[in-house]
């Protein structure tokens, strides 16, 4: 699959989600450690909800997100904590064949790590239906629900070892919508340890498409740990390519990437990213 250079980006800018006038380029913020990077993302989410109490929030799962959701839940329970009662959420993905009550489903993950710990209304939380009898219909309905909610205001993302966002594995179309996808062997190897019986891990999942993600008004990518340094560098500083779906975030009009120093180790422009954080007014309250 041929990489997309800058000219290809401009040629495709009329596609859904990319035709808005860019307000802010991709912002890469490097913090000293995983805790500081997670604190930053938590603060940005909390600030967004305070600014818009009926925020539509896109959510991710995975090990990195566990620390983020713990911080959100702990802050909510404190004095003057963030109010989630009017927030609507949409999760990126769900395994096909796992019922919501299965402990390894992403619905269970979200209930355990966030939904049961904050005052979000259950009817306002959405996770793809991995048990749908007609997957295609379920995916179309998920897209419709997002549209009815007015689109996603803030999409939280992690990155997989293959550079995927959601379960948009290599060769995922840049303007794809919510659909069923087969998981790569590498993704399965990464996630199998989370299952009591690794052989029971599903081979397929429903995921928001890359185009669905790019439609969000703002994206927040959180990555920590040295094992992600190589793919982070390719995703943020390499060419835009469908082989690494996270590279599509380079085309988003308002994407913030929060990294710890370990995840940022292979970046070539670290001096510039540090300078931006120290000098841009948006980050003054976090310095």
Residues of the chain with pLDDT > 70, as a percent, come to 91
pLDDT for the residue numbered 6:
35
Average pLDDT over residues 196-201: 87
Flag whether 171 is in a domain.
Answer: yes
The parent domain of residue 124 ranges over 26-286
Whether 16 is covered by a domain: the verdict is no
Rounded to an integer, the average pLDDT of 259-285 is 96
Q: Examine residue 164 and state whether it is found in any structural domain, yes or no.
A: yes
The H or E element spanning position 40 is helix 34-51
Residue 254's pLDDT is 96
The predicted-structure confidence for 117-129, as pLDDT tens digits, reads as follows 999 999 999 999 9
Question: Which residue stretches of the chain are H helix?
Answer: 6-11, 34-51, 63-77, 106-113, 135-148, 185-191, 210-214, 229-237, 270-279
Q: Strand order in 204-207's β-sheet?
A: 93-95, 204-207, 179-182
Q: Tell me if 13 is assigned to some domain.
A: no
Q: What is the mean pLDDT of residues 175-189?
A: 94
CATH number for 147: 3.40.50.1360
Given a cut of 80, whether residue 53 has pLDDT beyond it is yes
Looking at the structure of the chain, the number of domains it has is 1
What's the mean pLDDT when you consider all of the chain? 91
Chain Cα centroid distance, residue 10: 24
- pLDDT at position 25 is 66
Q: Which two tokens stand for residue 93?
A: 């993905």
Which DSSP string corresponds to 14-27? TSTTT-SPPSS--E
Structure pTM? 0.90
Confidence of residue 200 (pLDDT cuts 50, 70, 90): confident
Rounded to an integer, the average pLDDT of 48-76 is 97
Among 88, 106, 86, residue whose Cα is nearest residue 96: 106
Is 57 within a domain?
yes
């Amino acid at each position: 699959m041929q990489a997309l250079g800058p000219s290809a980006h401009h040629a495709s800018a009329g596609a859904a989600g990319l035709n808005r006038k860019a307000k802010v380029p991709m912002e890469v913020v490097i913090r000293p450690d995983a805790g500081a990077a997670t604190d930053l993302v938590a603060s940005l989410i909390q600030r967004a909800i305070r600014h818009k109490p009926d925020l539509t929030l896109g959510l991710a799962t995975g090990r990195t997100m566990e620390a983020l959701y713990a911080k959100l839940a702990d802050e909510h329970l404190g004095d003057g904590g963030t109010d989630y009662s009017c927030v609507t959420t949409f999760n990126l993905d769900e395994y096909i064949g796992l019922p919501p009550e299965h402990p390894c489903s992403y619905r269970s993950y979200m209930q355990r790590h966030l939904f049961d710990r904050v005052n979000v209304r259950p009817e306002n939380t959405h996770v793809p239906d991995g048990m749908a009898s007609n997957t295609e219909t379920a995916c179309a309905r998920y897209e419709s629900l997002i549209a009815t909610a007015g689109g996603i205001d803030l999409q939280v993302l992690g990155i997989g070892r293959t550079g995927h966002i959601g379960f948009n594995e290599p060769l995922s179309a840049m303007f794809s919508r919510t659909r069923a996808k087969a998981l790569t062997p590498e993704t399965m190897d990464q996630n199998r340890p989370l299952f009591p019986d690794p052989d029971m891990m599903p081979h397929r999942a429903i995921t928001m498409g890359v185009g669905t993600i790019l439609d969000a008004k703002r994206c927040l990518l959180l990555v920590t740990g040295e094992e992600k340094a190589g793919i982070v560098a390719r995703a943020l500083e390499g060419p835009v390519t469908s082989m690494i779906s996270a590279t599509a975030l380079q085309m988003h009009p308002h994407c913030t990437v929060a990294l710890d120093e370990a995840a940022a180790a292979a970046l070539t422009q670290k001096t510039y990213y540090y300078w931006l954080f120290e000098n841009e007014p948006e980050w003054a309250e976090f310095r």
